[in-house]
Structure 1
Amino acid sequence: MPAKPKAAGKGRGPAKRKLAEEFPPGEILTDTAKKCWKLGTPVGQGGFGLLYLANENATQAVGAAAPYVIKVEPSDNGPLFTELKFYMRAAKPDLIESWRKSRKLKYLGVPKYCGSGLHDKGGSRYRFMVMDRFGTDLQKKFEESGKKFSHKLVLQLGLRLLDILEYIHEHEYVHADIKASNLLLSYKDPNQVYLVDYGLAYRYSPEGTLKEYKEDPKRCHDGTIEFTSIDAHKGVAPARRGDLEILGYCMIQWLCGRLPWEDNLMDPNYVRDCKIKCRENVEEFMKKCFSTENKPDEMVRFIEEVKSLGYNDKPDYQKLRSILRDGLKAIGAKDDDKLDFSVSVNGAGPSSVKAPKRKKEVEKEESVETDGSPAKKRKAPQKKGVNGVKMGSPKKAAPKMPRAKKAAPTAPSPNKPVAESKPPPAKRGRGRPKKNS
C-alpha cells in the first residue's frame, strides 16, 4: 500500500511539535508586564494551540462578549513565536497609532499587540499571546456572496490592504499570506477589515539590510498555492513585491470568482507555470478571467505596475492607490468607507457550485491541523466565529501552501543580484524562509 503523501510543512521538524493542553475556564495567565488575564472557554483549535475568549479583569467571569482572545501553544513550538516576534516589533499600539495619525487614516487594519508571556501548568510550559477579538472572515463573506464581490467592494478592500501592507513593509516585514480567510472584520465595526495571521511573516530587511535574491529548491511553493507569488514558487524568500502580487490575485478572484489555475491546485508546478504565463501576457490573463466588456482596466494597470518591481524595489504605494481610485471613478463610485457585502453581483446568491478542493484542504484531511507553522494551515469558511475560528470547535485551516511571488520586471532590476533561473521542480514537503529572531 503506497504511503500517504506528506502534509505541507511536515518535512522540516513541525511533526514533532506538542499539542496544547486545554485549560479550564477561569485559568489566570500573567503576561510579561505582570498583567493578569482570565481565560474563558476555548473557541477553537489551531493544530498545536488553542484559542480562548479572555478578559483583562481577573475578578470577573469571561462571558460570550469578551473583547479579547488568547492564543496558547506549548513554548517549544515555533509558529506562535514567529507571530509574536512580528507583533512585538511592529504592532505595538503606539506605533500603529502614530502611523495612523501621520497618514491621516481613520484606522489601520493591523491588529495591536496586547500582551504575551509564558505559563507553567502540569509540568509543562506554554507560550501565549493576547489579541483583540475580531468578527467573521472575508472567506465566509465570499462564499455567502456566491464567490463574487462587487467591483466597488473589491477596490475598497484593495485600498485598505495597501494601507496595511505599506505599514508592515515600512516596519521591515512582509506578510506573505494575504487571502480572504486571513482578513477579519472588526468585532465592533463591520466596515473595518484587519489582516491577521503573521505566522509566515518574514523580516525582509532586518536593521535596514535587504535580503538577497536567492532561489532555494527546498522552499519551493511556500504559501497558499492559489495566491502565492512567483518568487515563492521558486523558493525565494518573501519580498514586498510578492505581497502586492498576492493582493492582485486576491482582487481578481474576488471580482471574477475564480483564478485560471484553480482547476489544478494539486500540481504546484502547473500553478507556477500558469502564473508565469499570465505575468508575461497580462492582457491574455485578463481575458481568461473576464469577458471583454467587463474587463477591469485598473486591474491590468495594477498587475503591470507590480510586475515592473525588482526583488528589492520599494513599491510606489501612492501610485497603486491612484490606480484603484481611478477604478472607482470609472464605475461612478467613491470610497465611502462602507464595506457593503449585500450587493448582488450579476444576481448571484450563495453559490451552489462547489469549487475543487484545494491542495491544502486535501492534505489537511490527511494530517493534523496546524496554526502558524512553516506550512501553516488556513481558516476555512466558518458558520460563526471568533477571530476567524469556528465557535466551539477546532479551528479549520487549510495548510499554508507555499507562496509564489510576482515575477521580476521585464528589465532586470539592479537590486536583483542573481538572475532568476528556470523554476526548480516542486517538492512535496513544504518549508518557509528562515526566521529572523
Structure 2
Amino acid sequence: MPPRKKALPRPLPEGWIVTDAEKRQWTLGKMIGQGGFGLIYLASRGTGKHDEDEAEFVIKVEYKENGPLFSELKFYQRAAKPADIQKWMQEKRLRFLGIPKYCGHGIAEFDKLSYRFMVIERLGKDLQHIFEKQGKMFKDHIVLNLGLKMLHVLEYIHENEYIHGDIKAANILLGFKDSNKVYLADYGLSYRYSPNQIHKKYEERPKKGHNGTIEYTSIDAHKGVAPSRRSDLEILGYCMLHWMCGKLPWEQYLNKPELVLEAKTKLMEKLPESVTQISPCGAKCGEIAKFLSLVKKLGYDERPNYHMLQKILLDGLKEIQKDFNDFLDFSPVSEVEAHGYCLYNHAATIKPVRHDIRTTQPVEKCLNESKTSLTRSRMVQDKVKEDMDAKWEEEINPRKTQLQIKKKYAEDECNKLTGSDGQYEDEYLIQQEANDDQIEFSWRKWCLLLVFLIISIVIVTLY
C-alpha cells in the first residue's frame, strides 16, 4: 500500500547509504529536523564513519509521491547553479549571496518504499530559534542587515523567474560555524511566476486563499492570487516589522484568516502611520514603513525597483553608523539595548480583545483600543522620563553650585592679583609700596655688609 500523500516519511536508520544520480555515495547521520513533508539528516560523503560535529552536508528526504522536495530540487537545478550565482555576485559586487549550495539528488528504496532525497551544504541554526531565545527582539541594525541580505536573494531568484513564497525566520539559517553568513533556505514552495517570460495573470480564487504561514502571508495570497514579486517583498516587510517590534498587530487573529487579511489591508492603507503606531520608541521602523510604502505602489506583474528598496535599508544603516558587511551580533539584548532609550514595547501594550465573529468592525475596535493603550504607554514613558530628568537635576545641581563657587573664588583672586577690580586698588598700591621699601632696605643692608667685609680684609692684610 503506497504511503499517504504529504505524510511525513518514516525515520530512516542512521548509517544508511544512498547513491545519487551522479553515482556518488552519501551516508546518513543523525536526524536534525523536519519540515512540513520531509526529514532532514546530517550527511557525509562516502561510506565511512564521520564525526557529526564536522559533517558538512545535510540530506532532505521525503516520499517520492510528495511534491515540495521535487519543487525545491527543480529550483536548484534551474535557478541556483553555482556558476550563475558566482556571476551574479560579481556583477552586483557582493561578497556573499545567501542561497545554499546544491550538492546532489536521487531516488532510494528502503523497506519497500521509495524516497526522494536531495543533498545540500550544512547550515546552522534557524533565525526563529535565535529570535525566540532573544525574547523576540532584534537590534535595529540586525533587522536592517537581515532585510538587505534577504532582498539580494529575492532579487536574484526573481530575475530567474522564481518566487520564494514562504519567507519566515524558520526558513532563514545562519552559516555553519559562521554567523555572518545568512541563507534563505527551504524552497519547497518556490514558484515560477513567469514561465516562458509570460507573467501569471491576476486572478482571485477564494477557495485557495490564506495559504502559507498566516503571520506573513501576502494580501494577494489571502485572496488566492498566485504569488508575485511584490508578494515576496510584502512578506519580507512583515518579517522585518516582526523582528523589530516583537509582535504583529494581527497576532490575536491567527485562527481567523479573514480578520488577519483585514488587519494587513488597514496597515498597508494607512502607511506610514500604521507602522509607527506599533513601533517601539527609538526603533528604526521608519525604514520599514518606507519599504512597505514602495511595495504597496507596485503593480501585480511590475518589476520592483530593487536598488531603491536596498537604498532605503542602507540609508537606515548609515544613519546609525553601521555597515552592511558588519559582523551580525545575535547576542541577547534588552529592548533598551536594541532600540535606545525605551522602557516599554508599544506593540506589547496591544491587548487581545475577544470578538464576536458577527461583529462588523472587530479590527477597527481593536485598533482604537490599541491607540488608547499606546497613548497611556507614552504618558507613562513621559512621566518616567520626567522623573529621571528631575533625579538627574538633583544630582547635577550641587555639582553646578560647587563649580560656580570655585569659579567666583578664582575670579576674585585673579582680580586681586591684576588690580582690575576697583575695591582692591588701594590695597594693591599699599602692598606695592611696602614691597618697594622692603627691596630698598635689603639693598642698603647688603651694601653696608660688603663695605664692612672689605675693610676687615684690608686690616688683616696690613697686620
Structure 1-normalised TM-score?
0.73
1:147-206 Cα deviation digits (max 9, x unpaired):
111111111111101110001101111111111111100003111100111111111011
The residue aligned with 1:330 is 319
The residue aligned with 1:215 is 204
How far, CA to CA, are the matches of 1:292 and 1:309 in structure 2? 29
Q: Quote the offset at 1:242 in angstroms.
A: 0.6
- Do 2:230 and 2:300's aligned partners in 1 also have CA atoms closer than 8 Å? yes
Q: Which of 27, 31, 50 lines up with 2:39 in the alignment?
A: 50
Q: What pairs up with 1:286-305 in 2 under 5 angstroms? A: 286-290=275-279, 294=283, 296-305=285-294
Note if 1:125 corresponds to 2:119. no
Q: Quote the offset at 1:32 in angstroms.
A: 0.9
The residue aligned with 2:309 is 320
**Letter of the 2:253 counterpart:** N
Q: Which of 15, 18, 29 lines up with 1:40 in the alignment?
A: 29
How far, CA to CA, are the matches of 1:288 and 1:15 in structure 2? 47
Q: What pairs up with 1:195-274 in 2 under 5 angstroms? A: 195-274=184-263
Q: What is the SS of the residue equivalent to 1:190? A: strand
Higher relative CO (Cα under 8 Å, sequence separation at least 6) belongs to 1
- Distance 1:27-1:246 versus aligned 2 partners, 3 A rule: same
How far, CA to CA, are the matches of 1:63 and 1:303 in structure 2? 42
1:235-277 Cα deviation digits (max 9, x unpaired):
0010000110011111111111111111221110001001111
Which piece of structure 1 moves more, 331-340 or 196-205? Answer: 331-340
- Do 1:150 and 1:345's aligned partners in 2 also have CA atoms closer than 8 Å? no
Q: What pairs up with 1:108-187 in 2 under 5 angstroms? A: 108-187=97-176
**Letter of the 1:237 counterpart:** A
How far, CA to CA, are the matches of 1:343 and 1:64 in structure 2? 25
Note if 1:72 corresponds to 2:70. no
- Do 2:8 and 2:39's aligned partners in 1 also have CA atoms closer than 8 Å? no
Q: What is the SS of the residue equivalent to 1:184? A: strand
1:91-145 Cα deviation digits (max 9, x unpaired):
2222222212222211100112111010122322111000111111111111122
**Letter of the 2:323 counterpart:** K
- Distance 1:215-1:313 versus aligned 2 partners, 3 A rule: same
- Do 1:149 and 1:345's aligned partners in 2 also have CA atoms closer than 8 Å? no
Q: Quote the offset at 1:345 in angstroms.
A: 4.1
Q: Quote the offset at 1:288 in angstroms.
A: 2.9
Q: What pairs up with 1:91-106 in 2 under 5 angstroms? A: 91-106=80-95
The structure that has the greater radius of gyration is 2
How far, CA to CA, are the matches of 1:16 and 1:335 in structure 2? 43
- Do 1:32 and 1:115's aligned partners in 2 also have CA atoms closer than 8 Å? yes
The residue aligned with 1:385 is none
Note if 1:276 corresponds to 2:265. yes
Q: What is the SS of the residue equivalent to 2:53? A: coil
How far, CA to CA, are the matches of 2:127 and 2:243 in structure 1? 10
How far, CA to CA, are the matches of 2:176 and 2:216 in structure 1? 26
How far, CA to CA, are the matches of 1:133 and 1:31 in structure 2? 17
How far, CA to CA, are the matches of 2:162 and 2:143 in structure 1? 24
- Distance 1:128-1:197 versus aligned 2 partners, 3 A rule: same
- Do 1:150 and 1:255's aligned partners in 2 also have CA atoms closer than 8 Å? yes
- Distance 1:356-1:84 versus aligned 2 partners, 3 A rule: farther
**Letter of the 2:244 counterpart:** L
- Do 2:59 and 2:117's aligned partners in 1 also have CA atoms closer than 8 Å? yes
**Letter of the 2:118 counterpart:** M
How far, CA to CA, are the matches of 1:311 and 1:257 in structure 2? 29
How far, CA to CA, are the matches of 2:322 and 2:11 in structure 1? 49
How far, CA to CA, are the matches of 1:294 and 1:212 in structure 2? 38
**Letter of the 1:134 counterpart:** L
Which piece of structure 1 moves more, 156-165 or 136-145? Answer: 136-145
- Do 2:245 and 2:280's aligned partners in 1 also have CA atoms closer than 8 Å? no
How far, CA to CA, are the matches of 1:343 and 1:245 in structure 2? 27
How far, CA to CA, are the matches of 2:235 and 2:135 in structure 1? 22
- Distance 1:299-1:42 versus aligned 2 partners, 3 A rule: closer
- Do 2:41 and 2:59's aligned partners in 1 also have CA atoms closer than 8 Å? yes
- Do 2:272 and 2:286's aligned partners in 1 also have CA atoms closer than 8 Å? no
How far, CA to CA, are the matches of 1:170 and 1:241 in structure 2? 13
Q: Quote the offset at 1:47 in angstroms.
A: 5.2
Aligned residues: 341
The residue aligned with 1:341 is 330
1:357-404 Cα deviation digits (max 9, x unpaired):
9xxxxxxxxxxxxxxxxxxxxxxxxxxxxxxxxxxxxxxxxxxxxxxx
How far, CA to CA, are the matches of 2:351 and 2:107 in structure 1? 41
The residue aligned with 2:9 is 20
State the superposition RMSD in angstroms.
Answer: 2.4
How far, CA to CA, are the matches of 2:166 and 2:307 in structure 1? 22
Note if 1:307 corresponds to 2:290. no
Which piece of structure 1 moves more, 97-106 or 273-282? Answer: 97-106
Greater share of residues in helix = 2
Q: What is the SS of the residue equivalent to 2:180? A: coil
Q: Quote the offset at 1:294 in angstroms.
A: 4.6
The residue aligned with 1:8 is none
- Do 1:152 and 1:333's aligned partners in 2 also have CA atoms closer than 8 Å? yes
How far, CA to CA, are the matches of 1:314 and 1:326 in structure 2? 22
- Do 1:26 and 1:39's aligned partners in 2 also have CA atoms closer than 8 Å? yes
Question: Sequence identity of aligned pairs in percent?
Answer: 51
Q: What is the SS of the residue equivalent to 2:179? A: coil
Q: What pairs up with 1:349-388 in 2 under 5 angstroms? A: none
How far, CA to CA, are the matches of 2:291 and 2:89 in structure 1? 24
1:259-311 Cα deviation digits (max 9, x unpaired):
11112211100010011111111133123312576563222211111111000
What residue ranges of structure 2 are gaps of 5+ in the alignment?
Answer: 339-344, 353-463
**Letter of the 1:186 counterpart:** G
Structure 2-normalised TM-score?
0.69
